[in-house]
Amino acid sequence: MRFLWKLLAEKNLALLPPQNLGKKETPINVINAETETSRKRFPVDTLKNDPYILRYKALNEKLSLFELGYTLYHIANHRGTASIRSFLEDDEAKRKENTKTAKRVKEIKKIINSKKYRTFGEYLYKEKIQKFKQNERKKVTNRETAHNNNKEFAVTRDIILEEVEKILSIQKEYYKDILNDDYIEKIKNAISYETEKLIPEPENCPYFKNEKKLPRSHKLNEYRRIYEALNNARYSIPVSNNTGEILSYEKKELSKEQKEILFKFLLENKNLTQDEAKQKLNLPDDSEVYLQGRDKKNQKIKGYALINLEKMSFWSRLSQNQQDEFLYDWNSLPDEKLKDKLKNYYKLVDNEINETFQEIVLSAGYADVGKSAMEILLNYIKNGSSYPEALDKSITEGKFKICKKAINDLLPYYGKILRESTQPIIGKPFSKQFINRNYKKPNTNKDEEVFGKIANPVVHQTLNELRKIINEIIFIFGRKPLEIGLETARELKKSRKDRENIIKQQEENEKNKNKIYEKYIEPNLRQINKRQEDPKKYILKFKLCEEQNFICPFCLKKINCDDVINSHVDIEHIFPIEESEDNSKNNLCIAHNKCNADKAKKSPFDAFGHKTEGKYIWNNILANAKEKLPHKAWRFYQDSFENFLEKKPMPKRFETDNSYISKISTKYLACLFDKPSKVFCVKPSLTAQLRIAWELNEIMKSILKSEDLKDYENKKTRIDNRHHALDAIVIAYANRGYHNFLNRIHAKGYKINYDYNKKNWLSKILLPPENIKLEDFKSNLKEAVLNANVNVKHDHNINGQLVKDTAYTLYPGIKENEYIITTLKPISEIKFKKKEKPQDTLKKTLCRFKESLSLVKNQNLRKKLEYNIDLYKKILNKDNLSKAKKELEKSNLKAKDEGKKSQEITDILIYKKACDIIGKKYIQVENRNQDKFFTLKKPIETETGFGYDTGDNLSLDLYHDKMGKLCGEIIRKIDFNKNEPPNYKKEGYVLLERIYQGDTLETDISKDKNSLRSKISSAPNNRTFVKVLTFTEVGDYFKDKKDDIQIYIGNLLKSKYNQDDSFRISSMQKFNIRKVTLTPLGFIKYRSRILKNKEK
């Protein structure tokens, strides 16, 4: 629209835009509504006109230039949809909307032609506007809102462009000098302009390289889909005795003749149901048919998708090649280009084009193979083979030519081996569609550009790291390993009973889903669709409501259907998702929005366990959980959250990633060997049993320091990165004999105890390999683990989020170069420390600016600070503290009567209770350095500003100043992406060393800091490695003390960090710090000079 504004302003059809229009002054997309409206583009007198009336007047009389510009600008703002083509993959609402739009356009065109209206604008004026008084008519809009579900004014773009052409041709008679042909063409192009969408191109068939992969909508792929569905179909007929009593049912596959009968039916009909299948195959009434779908009542096979297309009059006029080409075009061309090709190449008339867009719904995307390959595969599938079986037979019988598998000496980039699993890089710079548009290619790995990459970033990164470490092992040892063991995430073989239970549960779940949909969602479907929401998202909400008997688990008040539909309630994680990472249904409940807000990011007990009166009464909450949610009630108990965190299960998303990584890694590593079996897979259940039997958890505990073990007595010792080395050793020893034995006993239904702290009956059988004595075996393993090298992946990525999401209101700081920011928080979230008096904690939190209140000039900020001070006085009021103590004592007496554990009443507990009694929110007030903010509007004494926290630091650049002193400057991602030199370079200083977050530093071993005490095997003598966690400016940095930057570190052995230790640039020099880069196996690849002041 800005380009059109400039274009109209060139000939005085609009006001001149400001000189800086279009300049990107900031990387943040901040929209100022005042500058994005027609008020800035046309005179006030012009805007008093109704644009719909102007569109009619333009056909009959001369408009002023501003009126003409306003008319064109309005038309451009309501230019209609460019796309009404539907695909089977679209959701139902979109397909229905496209169909409605196409029918509406057809009806409008019919009226326009029959009444000889010249344009759509004239149709609107005569049929809609003229019938109402101007001040009574409905607002004309093509946008659906909560108050308007009428889209009668929404049409397709071709009708709008015809109107533009008509108006300009008539107004040209009045402005011949201005509206020349070239200018008219520019206006039409500006109104019709749409950014061309990137459409993925079909790849080549892997077996016939000169062919493209078939569109999924092609009839051969449809035949394949239908035959595969028929191959999977089954029917059962009753087996009776002589008296006619049914003894059992015999399940059968369809015969070739039966499949052909049903295939012909599906070619002519939309769907095949169970009843229709029984009828067509003349099966007895008491027989059962099994088609696709878990819910037996709704099982069906979808019919031939090209029925409507093949019935159209133009289809038979096209040759076979043209029909194939049509399907490629339907997949890949934008609507306008497709319409043009349908008319000029396929020779369709306008009615046929409109009917095609209105009636045709096809599959999008492409099949796995091309036409020739699909014809070969189809012959096997017709005879009962599955797709993978047909593929194997085609290769075995020589019908598909595949390149002979090369045995590699080193692992190449994974995309070269796993071509079928990668996707090409999608982007305009990489597409042939935009080859001559001069799009600049981003910094992309050449291998990824040639071979593509796996879309899952976790898998992509894992395979790349796997390549580096395997190749380094081969380089060091001078040859490939004889075999490679991988730990998989697959489950053990299930017994028949287990499999039957799973199928039964799946059918039951499907049945419940349909029941919930019919009972609660269907009656409210119109309201849901009006908000353009997915109805399926309400299924889980109503499931939880039924489970809870429509009672909120916190306030215990009723939840009704309207509460769910109108979002007055929402799903809540019982244990906070950030810490528990548990998104399973067992950790979900549904509660009122206010209750969720009051619970905040706490467990139920932490949020409400001390409440004895008012809205939340803990004893009632717990009693309700036991009664209504017995399988979740344990999550409401005291200490349950802490116990859960001690033995936290692996999140499901990681299980999914791990499962795929295991499978794809096996295929990838096989390229090193002549036989795929040389890469063997070990299941986690086996390694778990071997760790128990061989007492390997004791090894990790024996090498950890006593202080590290204090908080980890009842946990798996995963706090030290060397536990990965121990896992690798177990996998190396876990041969197929152990695996087959464990799989057999599991399949037979033997119960196995997986308590990591207890041996079980299996431990006596799973002895160490080659009959080595257990103590000797453990001793050897301990030595190996102690000497294990450690390395962590470095991330020097300059991309990513430049600023944090939250926009802050900024107040002028009391000190120079500072802002003050405020955040409203529940008073219950104030954290009291054991080593600090609770009144001191409150004073620091609520009275932070009390002494300097007179210096605060902004009245709004001053009121907030005074509010906090007043809150502090209310909490510390003697009566309030006395009431808090009495309530705690009362609660203890009640707990004692109920046989429950009482709480020790400490000062911290009394102050917490005193805060709860006040029950208000406080205003968190913080000082922030201006350099750490991306400021969009600077605050002044009378006005607030706003801005964003600059997010992640990128690096710390170290340099020597003119005195030879070691100094630093933190480079943030947002500053780096401005492509401006850092301040120290502007002053003429030179980069000494750049340290990124996550980099490794080599340092002297020292007792001064915990992170510097533990030696790492590959570090030089009396030296160790630490990981840089983050860094920040402190103290007087912004007063030209450029070595006042704090660097937070953690020893490389640790697997979890919490800013354990730190030093400043000025103080780190006594540890003789060097930056190092380690290889994947932990050897030093690069070692900087010692980072210290220049010697004089």
Please give the positions annotated as active site.
573
Give the integer Cα–Cα distance in Å for 1019 and 1016. 6
Give the integer Cα–Cα distance in Å for 428 and 437. 9
DSSP state for residue 149 in the 8-state scheme:
-
Give the integer Cα–Cα distance in Å for 820 and 879. 34
Please check whether residue 210 is in contact with residue 364, taking contact to mean a CB–CB distance below 8 angstroms: no
Which residue from 843, 825, 729, 826 is spatially nearest to 786, judged by alpha carbons? 729
Within the chain, how many helices (H) and strands (E) appear?
42, 25
Element housing 362 (H / E): strand 361-362
Please check whether residue 841 is in contact with residue 833, taking contact to mean a CB–CB distance below 8 angstroms: yes
Beta strands in 976-1036 (DSSP E): 991-996, 1000-1004, 1023-1033
Residue 258's SS3 state is helix
Sign of the Cα pseudo-torsion (310, 314, 319, 323, in order): negative
User: Read out DSSP for 746-767?
Assistant: HHTT------TTS--GGGGTSP
Q: List the beta bridge partners of residue 1027.
A: 1000, 1050
User: Read out DSSP for 484-553?
Assistant: EEEE--PPPPPPHHHHHHHHHHHHHHHHHHHHHIIIIIGGGHHHHHHTT--TTHHHHHHHHHHHTTTB-T
Angle between helices 256-268 and 219-232 (to 10 degrees): 130
3-state secondary structure 72-111: HHHHHHCCCECCCCEECCCCHHHHHHHHHHHHHHHHHHHH
Angle at 792 between CA 791 and CA 797, to 5 degrees: 140
Angle between helices 859-875 and 907-918 (to 10 degrees): 130
All residues at 6 or more sequence positions from 651 whose CB lies less than 8 Å from its CB, including other chains: 581, 582, 583
Give the integer Cα–Cα distance in Å for 1051 and 1026. 4
Element housing 680 (H / E): strand 679-682
Q: Kindly state the tokens that stand for 934.
A: 């991306």
Give the integer Cα–Cα distance in Å for 403 and 722. 42
Give the integer Cα–Cα distance in Å for 94 and 88. 10
Length of the chain: 1096
Give the integer Cα–Cα distance in Å for 1063 and 1045. 8
Q: Kindly state the tokens that stand for 38.
A: 């027609």
Q: Kindly state the tokens that stand for 589.
A: 């409940």
- CA distances to 858, 863, 994 from 1076, in Å: 49, 52, 11
Residue 324's SS3 state is helix
Please check whether residue 404 is in contact with residue 369, taking contact to mean a CB–CB distance below 8 angstroms: no
| Tokens 């909307």 found at | 97
Which residue from 973, 929, 955, 966 is spatially nearest to 1031, judged by alpha carbons? 955
Q: List the beta bridge partners of residue 503.
A: none
Helix, strand, coil percentages for the chain (3-state, nearest 5): 45, 15, 40
